[in-house]
């Protein structure tokens, strides 16, 4: 495979992000610095190093879904001592990484994998992977607000939300349950959308991502993807998984 693809698959970064590492002379192949972007490598025989550290592909690809509970941060370690997803995944700790993030107060579907190329492909804005959330808000958004959300609203700092599908599913007192689907991954985008209207988000759960469904998976529970789900990810990313 091409050298930048090898680095991406090993989790170093995106293919495009790996190109400068090669050009800058930070990558060695079989003990020699390689600055050739067209260089092909054999993962089974060639030795690749980045800044002197050996880079290897995993022996096998791992794909899991975690129902992240509220109160956990989506990082490998936290300098403030808060609970992280690593506290939930047991023996998988250090072998897989989360694809994207859910903020500490949010819960729901979090994909975990050791396939760096898949991670980059799922997160890249070019592929516009759908993300669906259930959101409990106060007060309920009005019809004009929903129409604005569907076309995108200012988020602050010069950003706008992308086009969305949004629907109020039900109301109980002053609280409304809203389903919203986005195709971008801006930081805390759902919360910022409702903040634009001065609507309070009481709870937020991601229930679907790139065609994967949370289903009845309990908070804190972890399960491997089925063969059909892996095929689904291959179909939406164009990768051979």
3-state secondary structure of 60: coil
Q: Parallel, antiparallel, or unpaired: how do β-strands 200-209 and 107-113 relate? A: parallel
Q: Report how far apart, in Å, the C-alpha atoms of 90 and of each of 7, 26, 63 are.
A: 27, 34, 15
Q: How far apart are CA 225 and CA 236, in angstroms?
A: 15
Count, residues in the chain: 241
List CB contacts of 71: < 8 A, sequence separation 6 or more: 83, 104, 105
Q: How far apart are CA 6 and CA 3, in angstroms?
A: 5
List CB contacts of 136: < 8 A, sequence separation 6 or more: 175, 176, 177, 178, 201, 202, 203, 204
Residue with tokens 């879904």, as numbered in its chain: 65
Quick one: residue 99, left, alpha or beta (phi over 0 = left, psi -120 to 50 = alpha)?
beta
Tell me, yes or no, if 103 is annotated catalytic.
Answer: yes
The angle that helices 15-23 and 116-123 make with each other, rounded to 10 degrees, is 120
Longest Cα separation, the chain: 68
Residues assigned a catalytic role: 103
């Amino acid at each position: 495979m091409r050298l930048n693809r090898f680095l991406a698959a090993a989790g170093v970064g995106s293919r495009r992000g790996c190109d400068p590492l090669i050009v800058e002379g930070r990558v060695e192949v079989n003990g020699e610095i390689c600055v050739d972007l067209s260089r092909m490598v054999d993962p089974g025989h060639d030795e690749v190093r980045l800044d002197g550290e050996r880079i290897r592909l995993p022996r096998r690809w791992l794909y899991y879904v975690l129902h992240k509970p509220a109160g956990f941060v989506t990082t490998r370690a936290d300098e403030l001592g808060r609970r992280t997803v690593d506290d939930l995944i047991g023996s998988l700790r250090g072998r897989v990484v989360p694809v994207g993030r859910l903020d500490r107060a949010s819960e729901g579907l979090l994909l975990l994998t050791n396939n760096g190329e898949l991670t980059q492909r799922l997160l890249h804005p070019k592929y516009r992977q759908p993300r669906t959330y259930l959101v409990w808000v106060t007060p309920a958004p009005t019809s004009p607000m929903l129409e604005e959300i569907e076309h995108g609203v200012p988020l602050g700092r010069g950003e706008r939300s992308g086009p969305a599908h949004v629907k109020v599913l039900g109301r109980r007192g002053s609280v409304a349950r809203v389903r919203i689907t986005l195709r971008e991954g801006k930081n805390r985008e759902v919360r910022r959308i409702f903040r634009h209207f001065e609507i309070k988000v009481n709870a937020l759960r991601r229930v679907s991502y790139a065609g994967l469904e949370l289903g009845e998976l309990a908070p804190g529970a972890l399960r491997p993807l089925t063969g059909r789900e892996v095929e689904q990810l291959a179909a939406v990313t164009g990768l051979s998984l």
